[in-house]
Amino acid sequence: MGGIGKSTLAQLAYDDPEVQAHFQIARAICQELDSESPHNITEFQSLLGKICDLIRRKKFLLVLDIVWTEDSSMWEPFKFALEYGAKVSKILVTTRKYRVAEMMGSVHIINLGVLSNEDCWLMINKIVFSDDDQYKDLEDLGKQLANKCKGLPLATKTLGGLMRNKRSREQWKNMLDSSLWELEDFEKGLLAPILLSYYELPLALKHFFI
C-alpha cells in the first residue's frame, strides 16, 4: 500500500556506502545519456543501443521506483538491453503490485509490513517532543492518534509533523475528533493525515495544491 516505506527502503539501499562502492550506480549511466545531444538519440532502439554500450560488462545497480505497468512487452526491450551488464548487476524494483514483481522476474521479493501502534507512537513522540519535554498529559491522546495511522510510516511522519507545535490537550483532542478520520478507509490510513496537514496550511500556501 502507499506510504508503507517502499521508496524509503530503496533509497536507503541506494545510498549505502558499500553499495555505492560495489556498483556503478545507474544515475551515472543516465547522466552520460543526458550528455548526449538530443539529436543523437531520437529513436527508441538507438537509446537502447546506447544503454547497452554504457553498461557492457559493468556492475550496475538500477533502482526502478513505483512501477505500475503489468505489460511485459514494455519491459522486455529494457530487460534485453540490461543483460549486457555484468552478471552480478542488480535491479531493485518497488511496486504495489505483486504481479509486476513476477512479470519483471524478481528473484527475491520483500513484502513490507506495517508498524505496530506502539512504534507509530514512538515515531510521533520522537518528531514532536524533545528529551526535555513533559508530554505525559498528552500520551493517551497521542497513542490514540498513532492508532489512526494504521501502521503506515508516511502517515505517522505526516501526523507527527502536524502535531509538532501543538502542546495543549484541546488541540490534540480536536485533531483526534476530526471528521476527516472517517475518510481513512479510502487510502487505509494515509489520506486523513495528509488532509489534516493541508487544512492546517496558511491560505496562501493552499493555493499551490489546488
Q: What residues does each domain of the chain span?
A: 6-103, 117-209
Q: What is the pTM of this model?
A: 0.73
Is 189 or 148 the better-scoring residue by pLDDT? 148
- Is the pLDDT at 80 greater than 80? The verdict is yes
Cell numbers at 101, concatenated: 514483481
Is 46 or 189 the better-scoring residue by pLDDT? 46
In whole angstroms, what is the distance from residue 146 CA to residue 169 CA?
15
- From residue 167, alpha-carbon distances to 128, 139, 200, 210 in Å are 9, 11, 15, 30
In whole angstroms, what is the distance from residue 197 CA to residue 158 CA?
7
CB 164 within 8 A of CB 128: yes
Of 22-26, 104-108, 163-167, least confident by mean pLDDT is 22-26
pLDDT score at 3: 87
pLDDT score at 209: 67
CA 57 to chain centre: 31
